[in-house]
Amino acid sequence: MLINCVAYQDGRKLADLDIEEISDYLEKPGCFVWVALRDPTDAELEKMREEFALHPLAVEDARHGHQRPKIEEYGESLFAVVHLLELQQGEITVGEVDIFVGHNFVLSVRNRSGQHLLGVRERCEREPDLLRQGSGFVLYAIMDAVVDRYFPLIDALESELETIEEQIFGKGMARSNIERLYDLKRRMVALKHAVAPLMEAVGKLTSGRVPPVCANSRDYFRDVYDHLMRINAQIEAIRDTIGTAIQVSLSSVAIEQSDVAKRLAAWAGIFAVATAFAGIWGMNFKAMPELQWEYGYPMALGIIVSACVYLFLRFRRMGWL
């Protein structure tokens, strides 16, 4: 579906275009065309390929989707893939925006995501001095908008981790905490897969040989790289904390099992003593002492109860009961 198709010249908007008018504006000096598509059909992608002379391999990647974040150079144009992440009902959904950039065009193709990028166009149009840098600045603006949306996501996951940490020593909470920690770790992996490859790709736009289309915006891409570095550092810190929390939870399970074993052993010892006394006095011998004594039975019960109470108090003092 076509979202926008606009021509710009010297940092200012010229006109909203129909697809058939694109080729006319591409020939104008100092002019570039910015097209935004959402979940396009094969026919729409083929039309864009013809209008902008896109590389077939890049178009194929955009058509199939599910690409790793990357920036690839095809002649004088670039093809970038950035993941759009969204937290919905505790789960991270992964969308994708594929960006084709040439010296006189920008084509963004958004797939499998409800997030819109309309604010990016509004921001660029409010800054004509920067938009005058051309399509390279538009690529920066799109990537910057996507990367900035990672910050609230990682803040939400960090808050969830803090909540789990507050409950980590709660009695009987170890199993549920481990399940929540593993679920959080799985979501952090999805975030890591979006950030780490993109950080590597953007790094190539900030130093060394920079593609000509991005040469005027090198400093701005350095800002995106800095944001990705910060997010990546937070991800690593959270992953380390999750690993530590899982180990603590597993230790808590072992401690709880040890406490149960101590209680069972203590009660078994108490009943073993009572059973031993009962077994001795229950032997069927004619000449057993105290057999004919009037107070023999109460005395036997008293000794058994006293021994059990003594053991109970000792075990309680030791912390076994």
CATH number of the domain at 70, please. Answer: 3.30.460.20
Closest CA to 19 of 30, 31, 39, 3: 3
Q: What is the mean pLDDT of the chain?
A: 86
Residue 301 lies in a domain: yes
Rg of the chain on CA atoms, in Å: 35
- At 244, give phi and psi (nearest 5°): -65, -40
Q: Judge whether 214 lies within some domain.
A: no
Q: What is the pLDDT of residues 208-247, one digit of tens each?
A: 788 888 888 888 999 999 999 999 999 999 999 998 888 8
Q: What is the pLDDT of residue 313?
A: 82
- The β-bridge relationship of strands 77-88 and 2-9 is unpaired
Q: Is residue 261 part of a domain?
A: yes
pLDDT digits (tens, 9 = 90+) for 2-45: 888 899 888 888 888 888 888 888 888 889 999 999 888 889 89
Q: What per-residue confidence (pLDDT) applies to 193?
A: 92
Identify the CATH number of the domain in which residue 274 sits.
1.20.58.340
> CB of 266 within 8 A of CB of 313?
no
Domain extent at residue 96:
1-133
Beta carbons of 314 and 265 less than 8 angstroms apart: no
Choose the final residue of a domain: 103, 133, 163: 133
How many residues in total does the chain contain? 321
Distance, CA of 113 to CA of 90 (rounded, Å):
16
Res 273: pLDDT: 82
Residue 287: per-residue pLDDT: 63
User: Could you give the number of structural domains in the chain?
Assistant: 2
pLDDT exceeds cutoff 90 at 113: no
The answer to whether residue 68 is domain-embedded is yes
Separation of alpha carbons 175 and 217, rounded Å: 50
Residue 290: per-residue pLDDT: 66
Identity of residue 12: R
**Which residue shows structure tokens 């660029």?**
124
The pLDDT tens digits of the residues spanning 167-180 come to 887 777 777 888 88
> Is residue 308 situated within a structural domain?
yes
Instruction: Tell me phi and psi for residue 204, to 5 degrees.
Output: -75, -15
Output the pLDDT for position 291: 66
**31 lies in a domain?**
yes
Tell me, yes or no, whether 300 lies in a domain.
Answer: yes
User: Of the residues 84, 117, 133, which one is the last residue of a structural domain?
Assistant: 133
Domain ends where: 133, 156, 190?
Answer: 133
Residue 280 lies in a domain: yes
